[in-house]
Amino acid sequence: MNINSGAIPLSQLPPGEAGQVYAVLGPGRGVQLRLLSLGLRPGATVRVLGRGPGHGPLLVEVNGTRVALGRGVAHRVLVIPSQKKG
């Protein structure tokens, strides 16, 4: 992985912010396949819509579909945050 990519875990992206999926990390091929089937694949745009209380799930939108992801799973998805203009 390129250290200079600027990628962060999806779990750290603030609500309302979007990013481009950079990588989906293992271990666990089943988790990777599940995330890919939800559209969370490199190059996809994902937006954090909200967070559950405490360590609750993240509500994200990818390809027009809303998906709830546990924090541990969201931590495996690396994203490059979108640059704000203005």
- Structure confidence at residue 79 (pLDDT): 96
Tabulate helix, strand, coil % of the chain (nearest 5): 20, 35, 40
When pLDDT is cut at 50, 70 and 90, the band that residue 86 belongs to is very low
Q: Is residue 15 included in any domain, yes or no?
A: yes
Q: Is residue 86 included in any domain, yes or no?
A: no
For 14, which DSSP code?
A: P
Using one digit for the tens of pLDDT, what is the confidence trace for 6-47? 899 999 999 999 999 999 987 778 888 888 889 999 999 999
Global pTM reads 0.85
Q: Is residue 49 included in any domain, yes or no?
A: yes
List the domain range (segments joined by +) for residue 34.
3-81
Residue 28, domain CATH: 2.30.30.90
Q: Is residue 16 included in any domain, yes or no?
A: yes
Count of domains forming the chain: 1
Adjacent-strand bridge partners of 58: 51, 69
Quickly count: other Cβ atoms within 10 Å of residue 46's Cβ.
Answer: 26
Using one digit for the tens of pLDDT, what is the confidence trace for 52-76? 887 789 999 998 999 999 998 999 8
